[in-house]
């Protein structure tokens, strides 16, 4: 009741009574502080707000992203070059579910055979613009395939009669079968082949009698077999350029003729009792009867970091840089390189009973007793890969971080120089002003890109990659301060006539603190606008320099050097993902920054919107 009464007479009280409620000066006059007004104006600008939100998203993406996509500057993989965007490497066709006989993963694809003898290929199969591994030859389609092996760019298949089929890249002798195999195929003789394997431009076939046939590019791989081992070979494990054999007496030998590769020195423990062997790209793993696993060869990706097993491994499978082992209790364990998650076995695999495992390159497939396929490893690349096999998404994220950092630091440098010199020019006036203004005119008038290029070319050749990055920041900062300097000077000249400066002066505040503590904070909003627009310009300049090869040098990614070399028709058309994604995100980012800058300028100075 009381309240109602109060409100009824409130206007009378306002007219005649005395107010008990003390309002602040701002509320009473319905004034807004300039800062709040700017924020209000800005938030009402739809375009500017959209720009800000999108920019913040991109900013968070490139700042947080590197923790999820760590940058490995030395990373490159010639098996993963120019892979288009897609996440289908592990998508086993439905037809294969429940009737799998064999799966062999290749570089970016995988091949599977069903119980009906039909072949299915999935993943990125168009490995060059002419060769598509999904084009299975007619005679292979007609045959009843029982075993299959995938190499880097070719596939070897064997049917129930022991005939061998090869398709894919054949230019380097991938299909030049040894005479005996070719003869057997012609006369329909079954050699009883029990194992076929394929690797980098070469393939292998092993018969029941223990005879090993090797064919392919002899210049790249060690394709000979020492006579004394022929007839005793139980199993063969291929690496990229060589192979290792498991003999029928349970020992492992290097049966080729090369003497100086890392696989030749076989550990002594492997002279007897070996159950299974498997080859990775540069290393071979062997498991003994007692369950010990021994890895030798070139193990710089952690292939030899064999974990502790609770049960006994019975079978081994090799990927490119990892191994997967199947235990006697049906458990599956992987170790080695885990860049693409190929060595982290999902829990769902170990909760099921596993019948067998197929592994290769970056993929793993586990088949459960019920015939279900569980896959893990490299699914594909969301934004494709570049000419060195690096993930474009990874490079976009990390490149964005570099570009933004360089942009931000150059802006800070130019702000510091600009505010300092502009302040000095405005404060001292006279000849100091004259000199500073002349210098700024000269620096501002220099052709920016050529000047930065020559600085980077001359100084940049003698310093490290990291120092070069700092050099670019400094060059950009040092060349882009004149704009801000002019702004500050003009503001100081006009603000020093304002009342608050007069007031400060009459109170005896020193001139220097008038400039840096009274005037500069008052023009901070203008500086902010300028800095925003400058940030976009610095990012553009940095990327242009990097694009031309005078900025930040690869392998450090930036949004500019991701596009270096993209301007030829092959890349533009066939490898479009290599330029579309970086260009799109960079374009959107700079557009957003400029939108924010424009909106800020309108918010700070509503009159400028009129113009």
Partner 1 sequence: MTRYVLRRIIYMILVFLIVSLLMYSIYNLIPTDPARAQLEPIKKSLKPAEYEARYAQLREEMGLDSPLIVRYARWMGFAPKVNGEFDGLLEGNFGYSQFFKKDVAEVIPDPMKNTIFINIFSTIVALAITIPLGIFCAVHKRGKFDSSVQVLTIIGYSIPIYIIGLIFIWFFAVTLRWLPVSGMETPGNNFTGMRAFWDRMLYMTLPVIVMTVGSLGGMTRYVRAAMIESLSMDYIRTARAKGLREKVVIYSHAWRNALLPVITVIIGWFLSIFSGSVIIENMFGLNGMGQLYYKGLMNNDYELALAIQMFYIVISLVGQLLTDLSYGLVDPRVRVDK
Binding residues vs partner 1 (CB under 8 A):
47, 438, 441-442, 445-447, 449-451, 453-455, 457-459, 462, 536, 540, 543-544, 547-550, 560, 563, 566-569, 572-573, 576, 579, 583, 586-587, 590-591, 593-595, 598, 610-611
d(CA 425, CA 14): 53
Shortest separation between residue 430's beta carbon and partner 1, angstroms = 17
Nearer to partner 1, 53 or 454 (CB): 454
Tell me which long-range contacts 334-339 makes (C-beta under 8 A, separation of at least 24).
334/359, 334/364, 335/302, 335/303, 335/305, 335/306, 335/307, 336/280, 336/301, 336/302, 336/303, 336/305, 337/301, 337/302, 337/303, 339/72, 339/75
Which token pair is 234? 């139980």
Shortest separation between residue 490's beta carbon and partner 1, angstroms = 17
Nearer to partner 1, 1 or 458 (CB): 458
CB 369 within 8 A of CB 31: no
Nearer to partner 1, 266 or 455 (CB): 455
Three-state DSSP class for residue 120: strand
Three-state DSSP class for residue 359: strand
The DSSP bridge pattern shows strands 119-123 and 354-360 to be: unpaired
Closest-CA residue to 411 (of 521, 587, 533, 592) = 533
Which token pair is 604? 């700070």
Closest-CA residue to 532 (of 487, 580, 582, 563) = 487
Shortest separation between residue 486's beta carbon and partner 1, angstroms = 14
Tokens 């006369």 correspond to 187
d(CA 530, CA 429): 23
* R_g over Cα of the chain: 35
Shortest separation between residue 375's beta carbon and partner 1, angstroms = 35
Shortest separation between residue 175's beta carbon and partner 1, angstroms = 34
Closest-CA residue to 515 (of 507, 505, 529, 525) = 505
Shortest separation between residue 246's beta carbon and partner 1, angstroms = 52
Shortest separation between residue 12's beta carbon and partner 1, angstroms = 46
Shortest separation between residue 426's beta carbon and partner 1, angstroms = 21
Closest-CA residue to 144 (of 165, 127, 163, 160) = 160
Closest-CA residue to 571 (of 153, 84, 107) = 84
Shortest separation between residue 390's beta carbon and partner 1, angstroms = 20
Is the omega angle on the peptide bond into residue 555 within 30 degrees of 0, that is, cis?
yes
Q: Is the dihedral of CA 564, 565, 566, 567 positive or negative?
A: positive
Nearer to partner 1, 22 or 458 (CB): 458
Shortest separation between residue 483's beta carbon and partner 1, angstroms = 14
Closest-CA residue to 323 (of 309, 308, 304) = 304
CB 351 within 8 A of CB 331: no
Shortest separation between residue 377's beta carbon and partner 1, angstroms = 34
- Which residues make Cβ contacts (< 8 Å) with residue 229, sequence separation at least 6? 212, 245, 247, 253, 255
Q: Is the dihedral of CA 534, 537, 541, 542 positive or negative?
A: positive
d(CA 381, CA 79): 13
Which token pair is 572? 């533009």
Shortest separation between residue 564's beta carbon and partner 1, angstroms = 9
The DSSP bridge pattern shows strands 164-168 and 252-253 to be: unpaired
328 φ/ψ angles, rounded to the nearest 5 degrees: -70, -20
d(CA 199, CA 240): 6
Nearer to partner 1, 125 or 594 (CB): 594
Nearer to partner 1, 472 or 563 (CB): 563
Nearer to partner 1, 133 or 436 (CB): 436
Shortest separation between residue 528's beta carbon and partner 1, angstroms = 18
Shortest separation between residue 448's beta carbon and partner 1, angstroms = 10
Nearer to partner 1, 88 or 544 (CB): 544
């Amino acid at each position: 009741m009381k309240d109602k009464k109060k409100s009824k007479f409130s206007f009378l009280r306002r007219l005649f009574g005395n107010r008990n409620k003390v309002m602040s000066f701002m509320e009473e006059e319905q004034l807004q502080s300039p800062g709040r007004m700017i924020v209000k104006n800005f938030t009402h600008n739809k375009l500017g707000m959209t720009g800000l939100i999108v920019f913040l998203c991109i900013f968070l993406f490139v700042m947080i992203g590197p923790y999820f996509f760590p940058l490995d500057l030395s990373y490159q993989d010639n098996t993963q070059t120019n892979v288009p965007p897609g996440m289908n490497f592990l998508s086993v066709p439905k037809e294969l579910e429940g009737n799998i006989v064999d799966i062999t993963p290749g570089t970016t694809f995988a091949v599977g055979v069903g119980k009906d003898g039909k072949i299915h290929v999935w993943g990125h199969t168009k490995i060059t613009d002419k060769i598509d591994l999904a084009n299975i030859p007619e005679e292979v389609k007609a045959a009843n395939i029982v075993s299959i092996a995938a190499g880097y760019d070719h596939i070897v298949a064997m049917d129930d009669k022991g005939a061998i089929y090869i398709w894919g890249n054949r230019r380097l002798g991938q299909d030049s079968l040894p005479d005996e195999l070719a003869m057997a195929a012609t006369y329909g003789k079954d050699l009883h082949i029990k194992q076929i394997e394929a690797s980098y431009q070469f393939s292998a076939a092993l018969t029941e009698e223990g005879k090993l046939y090797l064919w392919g590019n002899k210049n790249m791989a060690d394709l000979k077999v020492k006579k004394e081992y022929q007839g005793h070979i139980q199993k063969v494990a291929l690496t990229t350029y060589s192979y290792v054999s498991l003999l029928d007496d349970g020992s492992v030998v290097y049966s080729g003729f090369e003497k100086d590769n890392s696989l030749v020195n076989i550990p002594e423990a492997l002279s007897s009792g070996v159950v299974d062997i498997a080859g990775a790209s540069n290393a071979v793993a062997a498991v003994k009867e007692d369950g010990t696993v021994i890895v030798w060869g070139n193990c710089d990706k952690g292939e030899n970091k064999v974990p502790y097993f609770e049960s006994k491994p019975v079978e081994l499978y090799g990927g490119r840089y990892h191994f997967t082992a199947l235990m006697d209790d049906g458990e599956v364990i992987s170790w080695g390189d885990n860049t693409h998650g190929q060595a982290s076995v999902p829990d769902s695999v170990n909760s099921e009973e596993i019948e067998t495992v197929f592994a290769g390159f970056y993929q793993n497939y586990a088949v459960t007793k019920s015939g279900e396929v569980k896959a893990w490893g490299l699914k594909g690349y969301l934004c494709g890969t570049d000419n060195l096999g690096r993930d474009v998404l990874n490079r976009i994220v990390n490149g964005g971080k570099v570009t933004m950092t360089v942009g931000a630091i150059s802006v800070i440098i130019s702000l510091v120089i600009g505010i300092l010199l502009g302040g000095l020019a405005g404060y001292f006036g006279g000849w100091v002003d004259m000199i500073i203004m002349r210098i700024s005119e000269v620096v501002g008038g220099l052709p920016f890109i050529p000047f930065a290029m020559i600085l980077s070319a001359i100084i940049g050749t003698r310093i490290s990659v990291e120092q070069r990055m700092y050099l670019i920041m400094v060059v950009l900062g040092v060349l882009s301060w004149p704009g801000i300097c002019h702004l500050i000077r003009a503001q100081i000249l006009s603000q020093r006539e304002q009342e608050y400066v007069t007031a400060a002066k009459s109170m005896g505040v020193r001139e220097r603190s008038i400039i840096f503590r009274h005037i500069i904070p008052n023009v901070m909003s203008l500086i902010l606008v300028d800095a925003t627009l400058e940030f976009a310009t610095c990012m553009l300049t940095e990327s242009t320099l990097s694009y031309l090869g005078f900025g930040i040098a690869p392998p450090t990614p930036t949004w500019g050097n991701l596009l270096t070399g993209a301007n030829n028709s092959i890349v533009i058309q066939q490898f479009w993902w290599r330029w579309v994604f970086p260009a799109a995100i960079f374009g959107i980012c700079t557009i957003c920054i400029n939108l924010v800058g424009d909106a800020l300028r309108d918010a700070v100075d509503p009159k400028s919107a009129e113009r």
